[in-house]
Amino acid sequence: MSAVPPPSAVDGVDVAALHRWLDARRPQLVDDLVAYAELETPSDDLALLKKGLAHVEEWLAERLGPPVGRAHHESGEHGDVVVLEYAGTGDRPLTLLAHYDTVWSAGTLDGWPVRVDGDRVSGPGVFDMKAGLVQAAWAVRALRAADVPHPPLRLLLNGDEEVGSRFSRPLIEQACADAAAVLVFEASADGALKTGRKGVGIFEVAARGVEAHAGLDPESGASAVDEIARVVLQLHAASDSAAGTTVNVGVVRGGTRSNVVAGTAHADVDVRVRSVAAQDHIDALLQRLTPHDPRAEVAVRGGWNRPVMEPNAAISSVFALASRAAEQLGVELRETSVGGASDGNFAAAMGLPVLDGLGAVGGGAHARHEHVTVTGMVERSAVAAAVIAAFR
């Protein structure tokens, strides 16, 4: 049975009043974003990540008070993961996902400082996804100010999202396991919420052959390069643009010299799929790979870095709440499926109701024109507040 309340659950929440309260605090939302974005948090800089995370925790304590629960998981290699619990009514928590790492290297701010220009805030990481976390915190503040109860909240701060969430994945899954729903404050796609995300597979195919002199004794050799070449053709043939499947062998290595039948060869493969069926299809294809020459061996390593988030009824039901909340503001909320993956993919693969892209309105993720609108921050914060309140 779905834990998601019907869309009418937001009707009892005065979204316009929440919006007015937030709108009156625009300068504070902007200040919070600027202070956060002025701390660089590149995924590969442990010292900066620690500093950034400390700032976030301190700021959250100021805005929301001390959490009733806190778990700190030391990563060692990338950013740490912190899970904060906030008390609420009811027994099932709502899990809120945010990552504080960015793709921007240390020193980016020197040439590209955070800038507020009217309704627009630009700077490294503002759209992906520092504004999203600011909006989430202010959504909770707005509910409290209006005396609207909310369910217990579990906020996960992730520090390795931009490098594949390898450390954080089990922690994310643990934080989502008993949740009524999962809200992901990643940026919107041109304002649209993300109800579908492609799955991303990273594989390596390794072929082992038999080395031999290419001129004197070619028959006794089995070429690993020949095996990999056949694999590349089979894999690329599995690309299907209509189905949204892309298979790209981006790197091929193999052999030692032109006059030696190659003993080893490798291919690095990136796969993107839009559906579970396509994911299964690729898995089956990879399992079926066999050497053309029986003396050779072909082995596949790797797996799905991010399982597919396929639009489904559970996801639609949370989107319906957001959509109904936005209607109260006269805003027609759109939904879309995107190629990029997020931590929302992990939660979706567990069969949970997930709403992703609930964060900033703006553009330029991973690009030099990265920016958000303050109007969007206020609007989406109010919508998020209503969605959160619907689970009370």
Q: Give contact residues for Zn ion (rule: CB under 5 A).
A: 128-129, 186
Give the shortest CB-340-to-Zn ion separation in angstroms.
8
Does 309 sit behind a cis peptide bond, omega within 30 degrees of 0 on the bond before it?
A: no
Closest to 49 in 3D by CA, of 10, 87, 26, 82: 82
Longest distance between any two alpha carbons in the chain, whole Å: 86
Structure tokens at 337: 């499926």
Q: Which one, 188 or 323, has the nearer CB to Zn ion?
A: 188
Nearer to Zn ion, 18 or 308 (CB): 308
Q: Which residue is nearest to Zn ion (CB)?
A: 128
| Nearest C-alpha neighbor of 365 from the set 122, 106, 30 | 122
Which lies closer to Zn ion via its Cβ, residue 32 or residue 161?
A: 161
Which is nearer to Zn ion, 255 or 340 (by Cβ)?
340
Q: How far is the CB of 155 from Zn ion (least distance, A)?
A: 16
Decide whether 128 or 379 has the Cβ nearer to Zn ion. Answer: 128
Q: Identify the CA nearest to 118 among candidates 186, 202, 183, 27.
A: 27
Q: State whether the Cα torsion 340-242-284-296 is positive or negative.
A: negative
- Please give the C-alpha separations between residue 271 and each of 167, 216, 248, in angstroms, as whole numbers: 21, 40, 6
CB of residue 364 vs Zn ion: minimum separation in angstroms? 12
CB of 179 to Zn ion, least distance (A): 20
CA nearest 156: which of 200, 104, 94, 102?
Answer: 94
Contact 96, 352 (CB under 8 A): no
Smallest distance, Zn ion to C-beta of residue 133, A: 11
Select 345 or 373, whichever has its Cβ closest to Zn ion: 345
Nearest to 387 by CA among 354, 363, 360, 362: 354
Q: Compute and round to an integer the Cα radius of gyration of the chain.
A: 24
Nearer to Zn ion, 129 or 182 (CB): 129
In the complex, minimum distance from the CB of residue 184 to Zn ion, in angstroms, rounded to a whole number: 9
Tell me the closest approach of the beta carbon of residue 176 to Zn ion, in angstroms.
Answer: 17
